[in-house]
Amino acid sequence: MSDVVEKTLTALPSLLSLDSQPGSAKLSSNSKLGNLIRGITELTSKHEEEKLIQHELSSIKEQVSSPNTTMRQMRELMVRAVYCEMLGYEASFSYIHAIKLAQQGNVLEKRVGYLAVSLFLNENHELLLLLVNTVLKDLQSTNLIEVCMALTVVCQIFPKDMIPAILPIVEEKLNHPKEIIRRKAVLALHKFYLIAPNQVQHIHNKFRKALCDKDPGVMTASLHIYLQLIQENAEAYKDLTASFVTILKQVVGGKLPMDFNYHSVPAPWLQIQLLRILSLLGKNDQRTSEVMYEVLDESLRRAEMNHNITYAILYECVKCVYTIHPKSELLEKAATCIGNFVLSPKINLKYLGLKALTYVVQQDPKLALQHQMTIIECLDHSDVIIKRETLELLFRITNAQNVTVIVEKMLDFLRLSKDDHTTVDLAGKVAELAEKYAPDNEWFIQTMNAVFSLGGDMMQPEIPNGFLKLLSEGFDSEEEDRKLRLFAVNSYISLLQGDPSKLPQRFLQVICWVLGEYSYLKDDLDPVVVLRLLAQLLDMKGSSSDTKSWVLVAMTKLCWSETAVSVAQQVAETYSSSFDTTLRQRAQELQHLSRDSQLHSRVLPPGGSLEPVEVDSSLSFLDGFVSEALSAGAAPYKPLHQRQEELSRSKALSLEPYGLSLPISTSSCSITDRQSPTLLSTSSGLSGDSTDFSHRGSSTTLKLDGVRRVWGREGYLAQKEPVEEVAQVEIPSPLRSPGQQGDADSCHSRTPTANPEGDREKQQLASSLFGGLSSQSSVCLMEKSERFGRKAKGQRASSTPNEQRSDPSVSSSSAVDNLLCNNLLEENSEPIDSSTKQTFQHPQSLRVPNGACDAEAIISDDDTKGRNRPVSPEEHVEGDDFPPCEDKSKDLSLTAHLPAELSGFSHSEIIPLCSNRSLDLSACHVQTDNTVVLVVFVTNSSEDANLQIQVLSEELEVCCPCESPVEEVRGHSVSVRQYSLTVKRPLVHFELVGRLSYSAAGTLQSMQFSYKLPLTSFIRPLTVSTEEYGSMWLAFSHDTKQNLTLMKEEQEPLSATLNALKKKLSLHVVEIIGVEGLVACSLLQDQPCLMHCRVHAGRLAVWLRSPVADLPDCLLYHCQRALQEH
């Protein structure tokens, strides 16, 4: 068909021979629009066009406002006005007439009127209110076409506040006999849900009816709503999984009418929608995932590779398979699919293949290894998009060994990139990698220099801030810190001696700060030299006043010698009368401090340690002002994250640059540095702001974690090749350096080798790019979950002394070996999922003496410990038989194993964590009065095994009462472990990750699991009197305010709302006074949080206060949720 279109679509020149065109019968070539269009095409210059259109517009304007113009003429005029707007000329005078046309015209005029309205206006336009009555009338019309038109316009634009006016009628349309009306009504409700979710909350059961509609079109439309709902809260819709699976089965099986086929594929849009829904439902949920395995398999099988549309379905299928709880056979098939995509000659498929690889590579690095040669080819692809995606992939597999090569490639790309957005994004990624994996100081500083000069001034401010923070806070070793700082000073001095006018302002600011703080470290450097270099920046044309402030501050720090003072005085003189107040302020500071050396040394001791300045981040001194303003009717402050949430709910196109994947928390940036002006302003740490950043940070890490967890390959390996896995785990990874070549070779033999010369080059690149990928997978994953690259840096720093430097691209074996040793040592010091390690193909090849022995010793040590340990004195229950498939009964029987001391308390549902053939891991948490206990049940359904469980969390302190890490679990029994949890730092949800390693019958295996629990588990009611409440209130410094929805209760909405919160979150209601309510709770025993509620304009204005940072924000989130669910 597309050929036909291509042939018949013709270019403009044939315009005048219209009559010969078969499709031209409908062209109103004589109409005024036709004349206008023809007139425009005959013009040669933009200027002439403008003149013509202006003339046209004024004539339209004249006619629309004339009382003699009929509706029919009006219709024609509107079309012309729309055309003019499309060409980029404003015709706002016609908007009101478009509304009038929709209101007064007959059906066909109405249609144009509605179209013009939907094209002219956007959701927020005030004229839209005038449309409401027209829509209302048309919705009630007996003419189907009019109803359709009204619904169509409602789906596109409708004022949010007026939804209640038409909602009942739209709801009614869900029962309309015509499927087209039902379908449009469902889509209208979808639209309402998107712009005002709480308006349609009460009709959720109607959505279910739409899902069961006998017309496939209506059912498809309802899936849009479900996708949205499930994205927000998958838990609430798990019960629908089976229905979705059944629908998909029917669609795949070709049970729908032929009309829905697209290129003989049954309803592809529907299939993709369902696959997206299923992947959301099956994420992190084994039981739900199991329901869909069969249909996924079927989909993969049915979609034969022949047309774009089947690729689209396959791609969605692969994404789904990799998101839900893993199943080895499906993963294998999905991996083959990705392979086919990557190797495809079609460029679109290759792109998607790379994208899929990027998505899965952290879980399955083997897949990237398999395709390494293709990846390298893509790195030099002529299409920038492919190149960019390849870099994204490489970014995900970066480790300490390949970082130099990958960063080099990224910087190469950055040098050529012209797109601002890409530059910002990529610069952030390079900075992240450099921070995490830098092999040495020199490389780190040079890479950061490149980032700063290439990233320019668009760069995220977090990057320079993070960099300076890193320099100032340092690592474990003083000596290392000194070296790093000295190196930075040296590098910057030489940069300033070159041509600093080319450097971006941000970079200059960084340079100023570093020189101001650390140039004293360089013994042979006279501060006067530095001052002169800095002064030169002041005279540069391009310097912004911001940069000048930084320069002056740096100078202030440096002027402690006599000669220096005279230089400084001169500068201060010049700027102390500047028009820029900040500059003048800095100049004054410089002047005064340089005059008084005593004061100078007291304020700015050279090389003095950085004492963090205490900042009242809640700005509590403003409380009086705020409450006054509030009582005067001011809108309460909404924290940034909430405003953004509201914004994103309206689905606006975000024109901001990407949120960086760099998890730097600005909140922790608070004023550790003394004088930098910009830093001060960024860290004006309002509690709202700081939580926003931590939210953002956590959401990015969450994403990664989510993927990883689902993806533990243990199930895969354990089921598929248990014997091999044993081999893998017991062979330590130093074999890697030769084995890696072997890997490359073996993959090679699969891909056709054409040119041995070029190939060798590529192979070399391959080995440097994919080096250590296997061992990296585990190390990197653990590091990813850290909030900041500092830990990794620390390791780097500590490992530097015994590290030999050599050119990485040549990668002399000693360097690689050494790195590997370090890697290994690191591995042993941290809990790592050993099962993600690569299969080594040459276990008997060369060993590196050091690392190998160490690792082996440790592993075997572990092993023997496990085997010889006597039975630990923990609860053992024997002989119970657990049918593994009956979950209900399992839950019940596990409940019986709850330790006696916990039985009096309420416990959460026991959920399965992970399992394989012999072991089943489940867990729940129990809330006692003063703690939360995580109870882990290990059900062993085969023979005796020794096992060891580690549970970790960043934000929780995990305490295991039993001492022995290794424990024996007898065959066919349940072992119970307890961990008491305390909160280190409040979060909305806490996540625990754990690893279970066990040895049974001489083999060592391990599994990973994760467990999530909400903050509310840690919240306890706090009983205080109103007086106590009052005095506590004033003492707390962290706070947050927000408006919540009141429950729609006729009488006493306040007490009803508070009671609901009390029930859901176990809060204590201290007192209700008129329209105000006092509520108190505490985080476990000792971290109180107070809540002040006030009914204001039909909403509940809530103000939370606590001595604990972040607690008010997190609790507020749960209050919101609790009220939403209600």
Task: Kindly write out the interface string for residues 597-636 of this chain, putting x where it contacts other proteins by CB under 8 A and - elsewhere.
Answer: ----------------------------------------
What is the side-by-side strand order in the sheet with 945-952? 966-969, 945-952, 989-1000, 1003-1014
Distance in angstroms (rounded) separating the CA atoms of residues 767 and 372: 9
Half-sphere CA count of 35, side-chain side, radius 13 A: 7
The token pair that represents 375 in the structure block: 């990846």
By CB under 8 A, the residues from 61 to 80 that bind other proteins are 72, 79
**Among positions 312, 629, 640, 747, the unique one binding other proteins when judged by CB under 8 A:** 312
| Residues 855-884 within binding reach of other proteins (CB under 8 A) | none
Question: Mind spelling out the 3-state secondary structure of 716-766?
Answer: HHHHHCHHHHHHHHHCCHHHHHHHHHHHHHHHHHHCCCCCHHHHHHHHHHH
Contacts of 807 (CB under 8 A, 6+ apart): none
Q: Please report the beta strands in 33-140, taking only residues with DSSP state E, as ranges in sequence order.
A: none
Token readout for 854 is 């160490």
50, 61, 83, 856: which one binds other proteins (CB under 8 A):
83
The residue among 270 and 819 lying less far from other proteins, judged by its C-beta, is 270
Q: d(Cα 1036, Cα 87) in Å, to the nearest integer?
A: 59
Q: Which residues, other chains included, contact 126 with Cβ-Cβ below 8 Å and sequence gap of 6+? A: none
Q: Mapped to the 3 state alphabet, what secondary structure does 402-418 carry?
A: CHHHHHHHHHHHHHHCC
Which of 309, 535, 952, 1095 binds other proteins (CB under 8 A)? It is 309
Angle at Cα 101 formed by Cα 97 and Cα 107, nearest 5°? 165
Residues 186 to 225 in contact with other proteins, rule: CB under 8 A:
187, 190-191, 194, 217, 220-221, 224
In contact, 1054 and 1046? CB cutoff 8 Å: yes
Q: Which is nearer to other proteins, 55 or 263 (CB)?
A: 263
Q: Is 681 helix (H, G, I), strand (E, B) or coil?
A: helix
* Residue 756 token pair: 């041995």
* Structural tokens at position 727: 């081999």
What's the CA gap between 6 and 721, in Å, rounded? 53
- Phi, psi (deg, nearest 5) at residue 345: -75, -20
Cα separations in angstroms, 902 against 372, 897, 926, 980, 1018: 53, 10, 7, 12, 16
As given in the structure block, the two tokens for residue 865 are 């410990």
Residues 1070-1099 that bind other proteins (CB under 8 A): none
Based on the shown chain and the rule CB under 8 A, indicate whether residue 268 belongs to the binding site for other proteins.
Answer: yes
Q: Which is nearer to other proteins, 657 or 706 (CB)?
A: 657
CA distance 690 to 946: 45
The only residue of 65, 87, 545, 1026 in contact with other proteins, by rule CB under 8 A: 87
Position 272 contacts other proteins (CB under 8 A): yes
**Part of the chain binding other proteins (CB under 8 A), chosen from 8-16, 639-647, 851-859, 954-962:** 8-16
Number of residues that bind other proteins (CB under 8 A): 99
Minimum distance from residue 49 beta carbon to other proteins (Å): 10
User: Could you tell me if 1041 and 979 are in contact, meaning their C-beta atoms sit under 8 angstroms apart?
Assistant: no
Pick from 1104, 1121, 1098, 901: nearest CA to 1015: 1121
Smallest gap from Cβ 675 to other proteins, in A, equals 35
- According to the binding rule CB under 8 A, does residue 388 interact with other proteins? yes
CA distance 683 to 142: 61
Site map (CB under 8 A) of other proteins, residues 140-179, x = contact: ----xx--xx--x--xx-----------------------
CB of 904: closest distance to other proteins in angstroms?
A: 45
Among 416, 632, 652, 1097, which residue sits at the site for other proteins (rule: CB under 8 A)?
Answer: 652
Distance in Å, CB of 260 to other proteins, minimum: 5
Bridge-based pairing of strands 966-969 and 1087-1096 is unpaired
Least gap, CB of 150 to other proteins (angstroms): 13
For residue 311, state whether it binds other proteins (rule: CB under 8 A). Answer: yes
Does residue 4 touch other proteins according to CB under 8 A? yes
Instruction: Name the one range near other proteins by CB under 8 A: 655-663, 782-790, 817-825, 855-863.
Output: 655-663
Applying CB under 8 A, among 20, 90, 168, 524 the residue interacting with other proteins is: 90
By CB under 8 A, tell whether 111 contacts other proteins. yes
Taking the CA atoms of residue 266, residue 268, residue 273 and residue 275 in that order, the dihedral angle to the nearest 10 degrees is 80
The contact pattern for other proteins, residues 1033-1072, with x = CB under 8 A and - = no contact, is ----------------------------------------
Smallest separation, CB 182 to other proteins (Å): 12
Task: Name which of residues 331 to 370 contact other proteins (CB under 8 A).
Answer: 347-348, 350-352
Cβ neighbours of residue 18 closer than 8 Å, sequence gap 6 or more: 24, 27, 29
The residue (of 178 and 532) whose beta carbon lies closer to other proteins is 178
The residue among 128 and 1044 lying less far from other proteins, judged by its C-beta, is 128
Q: Quote the CA–CA distance of 689 and 362 in Å, as a whole number.
A: 32
Among 61, 93, 96, 123, binds other proteins (CB under 8 A): 123
Binding-site member from 82, 318, 1067, 1083 for other proteins (CB under 8 A):
82
Query: Which residue bears the tokens 């840690």?
Result: 1018
Pick the closer one to other proteins by CB: 386 or 824: 386
Identity of the residue, 272 or 368, whose beta carbon is nearer to other proteins in the bound complex: 272
316 binding other proteins? (CB under 8 A) = yes
**What is the end-to-end Cα distance of the chain in Å, rounded?**
53
Write the binding mask 17 to 56 for other proteins: x where contact by CB under 8 A, - elsewhere. -x--xxxx-xxxxx--xx--x-------------------
Least separation in angstroms between residue 703's CB and other proteins is 11
The minimum distance between CB 635 and other proteins, in angstroms, equals: 22
Of 119 and 165, the one with the shorter C-beta distance to other proteins is 119
**Contact status: 112 vs other proteins (CB under 8 A):** yes
- Separation of alpha carbons 130 and 98, rounded Å: 11
